[in-house]
Amino acid sequence: MTVHAGPGPASWLSLRLACREPFDPAGLLGFLAARAIPGVEQVTGTGYTRTVRTPGGPGVIELAPRPGQAHVLLRARPREPAAPSQLVAACRRLLDADADPAAIDAVLAADPMLAPLVRARPGLRVPGAYDGFELAVRAVLGQQVSVAAARTFAGRLAARYGHRIPPGTGPPGLTVLFPGPAELAGADLSGLGLTTARQRTLRALASAAAAGRLSLGPGADPAETAAQLAGLPGIGPWTVGYIMLRSGADPDRFPAGDLGLRRALARLGGTPEQAARWRPWRGYAAIHLWTWEADHA
């Protein structure tokens, strides 16, 4: 990690985050772009930007890959965050920067069906989550709907219950912090387009997180978190698997019932049972299949 402080009173803190090579930033950014929450996240030709909570108040981060270089430039505002180590750790999880792409690609490329996908995108990462609770909410919103619909629901939720950030904190279009557990635990979620069952699940999820009965942070025990999630109403195997995969807690998760994965496998001549060959990196195979399906939609 290399620190570069920009000039001027409104400068951002700048850090270089090393990533193991090979690294496929285009695949990562494409995945994030399709799911970017309006008002909270943006993906442009230069990188990924989002609003964040910090101990010192609301802020904005920008992650900009450098073509041909084994690092991503992290810029953060405020320039002197109260907990820079936590900020860096969250961004590294989001980038999956500490993965071992050579070992992962070697396993997946041994399968004739996946080999062309791995050659096309060496070093493809599992897009992580900056915040565990936000990811869990997004997973619930994504149940049995399209990626675009889930993004729309998340934007409506953020617009209604997210905290506005001070003007000038970030680029135009980034206006709110995604709501936390306390904001959603007792929230009236009607009028957002969600089913009554989905509303009940979100409130149960938020209540469990707010009360400390559900651990979604990076230090949580994966088995315990998965069990806690499965015990909530309306959260089944797909939702648990998606959360555990993208949180970085279980890189071998493969949500076999996912419609997009089944569609990609069918088009490629594969079956869900084939996933047993990809252990212990079935999660990376899922990202390859989702990415391939999106590229060939």
Peptide bond into 78 cis (omega under 30): yes
Which residue out of 24, 96, 105, 258 is catalytically annotated? 258
- Residues with Cβ within 8 Å of residue 262, at least 6 apart in sequence: 256, 272
Which residue in the block uniquely carries the two structure tokens 């989702």? Answer: 290
Confirm whether 258 is a catalytic residue: yes
The total of other beta-carbon atoms located within 10 Å of residue 267's CB is: 12
What lies within 8 Å, CB to CB, of 17 at 6+ separation is 1, 63, 71, 72, 73, 74, 88, 91, 92, 95, 97
Q: Which of 181, 128, 162 is nearest to 17 (CA)?
A: 128
Catalytic positions: 258
